């Protein structure tokens, strides 16, 4: 089964994304912030097909997480999708320059998530 990680400090968003991704055929590993996400990476030995991260989180925000993930050779090529309320062009550009592959603004739908996963080559 294809594995994805969902990183968001909102329990509700984690549940919604987990349900969507499970319906799309993914096994999902959730994390509440960037620091927890790095612990999940170690536990799962970096075996992810996709990572979805919020921007605004305590402990370590999504942009810092993307930079950390991109510095890990095991994860340097794993597609990363930022899913956030941040809508300013400079923030979109910062996320993409840091290594995010796609950027989705909340609110989102299952179709939007599936389309972005297809664009990243993770979903057929």
Q: What pLDDT score does 36 carry?
A: 97
Q: What pLDDT score does 1 carry?
A: 65
User: Any idea what DSSP says for residue 124?
Assistant: -
- The CA distances from residue 9 to 15, 34, 37, 99, 111, in Å, are 11, 9, 11, 21, 23
Give the chain's residues under pLDDT 50. none
Q: Is 77 domain-assigned?
A: yes
Q: What pLDDT score does 51 carry?
A: 97
Q: What pLDDT score does 45 carry?
A: 87
Output the domain CATH number for residue 96.
Answer: 3.40.50.2300
Cis peptide upstream of residue 107 (ω within 30 degrees of 0): yes
Strands 50-53 and 80-84: parallel
Look at the chain and report how many structural domains it folds into: 1
**Structural domain of residue 16, as residue ranges?**
2-119
Q: What pLDDT score does 86 carry?
A: 86
User: Any idea what DSSP says for residue 4?
Assistant: E
Strands 80-84 and 102-105: parallel
Q: What pLDDT score does 124 carry?
A: 87
Q: What pLDDT score does 70 carry?
A: 95
Q: Is 66 domain-assigned?
A: yes
Task: Please write the tens of the pLDDT for every residue from 42-68.
Answer: 999 879 999 999 999 998 999 999 999
Q: What pLDDT score does 18 carry?
A: 98
């Amino acid at each position: 089964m294809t594995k994805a990680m969902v990183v968001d400090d909102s329990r509700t968003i984690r549940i919604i994304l987990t349900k969507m991704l499970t319906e799309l055929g993914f096994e999902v590993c959730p994390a509440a912030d960037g620091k927890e996400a790095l612990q999940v990476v170690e536990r799962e030995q970096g075996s992810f097909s996709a990572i979805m991260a919020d921007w605004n989180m305590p402990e370590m925000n999504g942009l810092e997480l993307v930079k950390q993930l991109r510095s890990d050779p095991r994860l340097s090529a794993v597609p990363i999708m930022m899913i956030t309320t941040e809508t300013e062009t400079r923030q979109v550009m910062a996320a993409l320059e840091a290594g995010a592959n796609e950027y989705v603004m909340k609110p989102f739908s299952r179709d939007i998530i599936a389309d972005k996963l297809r664009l990243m080559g993770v979903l057929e």
